[in-house]
Amino acid sequence: EESALFPVVFNLATRSRITSNATCGENEPEVFCKLVEHVRIFPAENRHCDICDIRGSNRKQSHPITNAIDGRNSWWQSPTISNGRLMNYVQIDLDLGQVVNCIFFLIIILAYFLLL
């Protein structure tokens, strides 16, 4: 009987170094809202906004880039565009620490509103 051979799947990101050039709340506390709040079909009373503050004592308000790969139910929050047009171009670098020959990459991106 024939069977398919599948390679071992594992998460390279958990053992890597991740950096970004900007993160919400890294310079001062910052208010952010879910992106869908800008769509007019959602009433204002359903708005969900919060504060991000990496330097503060409230860990629930800290959303550093390391949250993107730590395996916990947390997330990285980019700065809002209210900080200027440069915030449209945020860069994330993932250093795997070695040359990796891969045939297939699976990148999973969960939007913040899906985590609520």
Residue at 57 is within a domain: yes
CA 62 to chain centre: 12
- Under the phi-then-psi rule, with left for phi > 0, alpha for psi from -120 to 50, and beta for the rest, what region is 97? left
- pLDDT of 113 reads 43
Q: Which residue has the higher pLDDT, 95 or 33?
A: 95
Question: Which range of residues forms the domain containing residue 109?
Answer: 12-115
Is 4 within the bounds of a domain? no
Q: Is the pLDDT of residue 116 over 80?
A: no
pLDDT of res. 103 = 64
Stated pTM of the model? 0.69
Q: Residue 47 has what pLDDT?
A: 66
State how many domains the chain has: 1
- What pLDDT score does 30 carry? 93
Residue 100 forms part of a structural domain: yes
Report pLDDT for 97.
84
Tell me the average pLDDT of the chain: 78
Residue (of 71, 82, 75) closest to 114 by Cα position = 75
| Per-residue pLDDT tens over the stretch 17-73 | 999 999 999 999 999 887 665 555 555 566 678 999 999 999 999 999 999 888 888
Can you list the positions of beta strands (E) in 1-116?
A: 17-20, 30-33, 49-52, 92-95
Note whether residue 16 is domain-resident.
Answer: yes
* pLDDT, average across residues 102-113: 57
Residue 1 lies in a domain: no
| 95 is a domain residue | yes
